[in-house]
Amino acid sequence: MQSKAFDKILAIALLFLMAQLVACGFQLRGSINLSSDMSPIYLEQNSVFDLAREIKSLLISNRIELVENVQQSKSQLVLLNETKSQRVLSVDGSGRAREYLLSYKVNFAITVTQKKTAKNTAAQNLLDQDTLTVTRTWLFDPDAVLAVTNEAELLYADMRREAARLILLKLNARSKNSESTNHNSVPAQAESSNKK
């Protein structure tokens, strides 16, 4: 009898806690929500296929609409190019490289199509070009060259996933900026129509 009452109280407390989390705007880390000004999005991958695959996967997992035609999109993410590089960080006593710094650099652009307004009779595209660099350190073992080479490829794949996540965070920030700009411009338009 007491356990049923306890279960009911526990269920009510959990429902109350979940309602509070939703009300305060809590969302899981890594979840991305694009504003209606940015979604649906078109992804132009150029020759950056592996990164594009990672980004598509993240967009789909966050339920962000991805379109195949640029005319159907409100924003475009253009992957311009990627470069991988490595440089020596440390050497051993005989002068052989023991530690490298691996770098993964991607150039991309975010284009948002602005809506037509009273002042602006034609839609505009606002281009925001950016560069992102992700680095990792890599210890080189001359006794296990094959394993070390595989480790480098795994590190580059990890950096690619990190770059995809960071690009989506930039999209999310851009989406929040366009949302706040739109909210700020609405009162200004209302004030100018009241003055007439």
Task: Render pLDDT for 172-187 as a digit per residue (tens, 0 to 9).
Answer: 887 766 655 554 444 4
What three-state secondary structure class fits 158? helix
The architecture (CATH level 2) of 28-178 comes to 2-Layer Sandwich (3.30)
Instruction: Tell me the pLDDT band of 74, cut-offs 50, 70 and 90.
Output: confident
DSSP assignment of 101-165 equals EEEEEEEEEEEEEPPP-SS--S--EEEEEEEEEEEEEEE--TT-HHHHHHHHHHHHHHHHHHHHH
pLDDT value, residue 30: 54
pTM: 0.69
Task: Render pLDDT for 132-154 as a digit per residue (tens, 0 to 9).
Answer: 999 999 988 877 777 777 888 99
